[in-house]
Amino acid sequence: MLVESLPAEQRTVLHNISWETFEALLRDTGEDRGSRFAYDCGTLEIMTPLFEHENPKIQFDRFIVVLAEELRIEIISAGSTTLKRRIVKRGIEPDACYYIQNQPVIRGKVTLNLETEPPPDLAIEIDITDSSVNKFDIYSSLGVNELWRYNGQDLKFYQLVEGQYVECKFSIAFPRVSVSEISRFIALSKTSGEIALLKSFRAWVKKKIG
């Protein structure tokens, strides 16, 4: 087992980790740990979020809830739930994920099993620096249809097309929302108060759909 530590992002990478060991670590560390796991065919990355990572995650979540509310779209928030499939030997804990088109299928469930149930329709992934695993491969093998990826400066939307992520300008889950518009509000979050930002965002959504 080789351990590689990347202090700037507080990531630890473990190599040659079996699927059984990965699942044992998930059980032993529980759901209340502060770190998040990403597993890709034997490579396990353990990431401890920093403030620079967590604050935009919260803003994205608030924006999505406002969009769903104002557009009258039902969602089920799954947070950083562990998404995994043994058959592809991959798993990940997103910064946030949501059931939107598939939310009727998931409603009422207390556990999530991607071996028999659909994956979230939208996942949010924040990587301030490069990850040590290929998260595109992980998400695509799990079948997540839409991915929003933010690196601290730039936001990009991706849609899963024939097993590969293709960059797109508009959201699939919220078709009238563009990446440039969400990017503008994420940029504002660095200088605005959070309540003022949320009010401004809600007003923009209402004007857009009015």
Distance CA 89, CA 64 (A): 30
Return all residues near 165 (Cβ < 8 A) that are at least 6 apart: 136, 139, 140, 147, 158, 159
Tens of pLDDT, residues 20-70? 999 999 999 877 777 889 999 999 999 888 777 888 999 999 999 999 999
The pTM for the full model equals 0.90
Tens of pLDDT, residues 100-117? 999 999 998 888 899 999
| Domains within the chain, CATH numbers bracketed | 50-209 (3.90.1570)
Q: Within 10 A of 155 (CB to CB), how many other CB atoms are there?
A: 21
Average model confidence (pLDDT) across the chain: 90
The more confident residue out of 188 and 35 is: 188
Answer yes or no: are the C-beta atoms of 155 and 183 closer than 8 Å. Answer: yes
pLDDT band at 9, cuts 50/70/90? low
